[in-house]
């Protein structure tokens, strides 16, 4: 079972920041937080991951609370192409045989 809870859907105006929350209150000390997104009829795309520090890459920023029980994915300037289902997943690193388990995700709609 997925160990995360996300809102079912969110809307965001084009050009504004999209802030997607995720609760993972049962995360263990060595589990990472991963974010993937899935655009309609495509395979999931890796976005970012983190353990306890905030992370930023060319796609997004990941803010993890100090107690690690929740996190927020930030798309700084959302575009129409960011419309997708966003999945927050917790899992171990370097665990070759252990797959990522997907929850229901958040359907983000970016509106012009």
Partner 1 sequence: GAVVSQHPSWVICKSGTSVKIECRSLDFQATTMFWYRQFPKQSLMLMATSNEGSKATYEQGVEKDKFLINHASLTLSTLTVTSAHPEDSSFYICSAREPGLAGDEQYFGPGTRLTVT
Point out which residues bind partner 1 (CB under 8 A). Answer: 2, 36, 38, 41-46, 49, 87, 93-97, 99-105
Question: In a 3-state reduction of DSSP, which class is residue 108?
Answer: strand
Cα–Cα nearest to 82, from 108, 63, 62, 56: 108
Decide: 62 and 56 in contact? Cβ < 8 Å. yes
- For partner 1, the closer CB: 14 or 91: 91
Smallest distance from the beta carbon of 94 to partner 1, in angstroms? Answer: 6
- For partner 1, the closer CB: 17 or 39: 39
Assign residue 51 a region (left: φ > 0; alpha: ψ between -120 and 50; beta: otherwise): alpha
- For partner 1, the closer CB: 41 or 67: 41
Smallest distance from the beta carbon of 93 to partner 1, in angstroms? Answer: 5
Smallest distance from the beta carbon of 112 to partner 1, in angstroms? Answer: 24
Helices vs. strands in the chain: H and E counts, helices first:
0, 9
Smallest distance from the beta carbon of 86 to partner 1, in angstroms? Answer: 12
Decide: 69 and 25 in contact? Cβ < 8 Å. yes
- For partner 1, the closer CB: 14 or 61: 61
């Amino acid at each position: 079972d997925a160990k995360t809870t996300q809102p079912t859907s969110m809307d965001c105006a084009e050009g504004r920041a999209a802030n997607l929350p995720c609760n993972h209150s049962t995360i263990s000390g060595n589990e990472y937080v991963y974010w993937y997104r899935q655009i309609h009829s495509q395979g999931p795309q890796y976005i970012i991951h983190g353990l306890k520090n905030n992370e930023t890459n060319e796609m997004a920023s990941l803010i993890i609370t100090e107690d690690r029980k929740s996190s927020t994915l930030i798309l700084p300037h959302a575009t129409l192409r960011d419309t997708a289902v966003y999945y927050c997943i917790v899992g171990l690193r370097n665990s070759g045989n252990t797959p990522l388990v997907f929850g229901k995700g958040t359907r983000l709609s970016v509106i012009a």
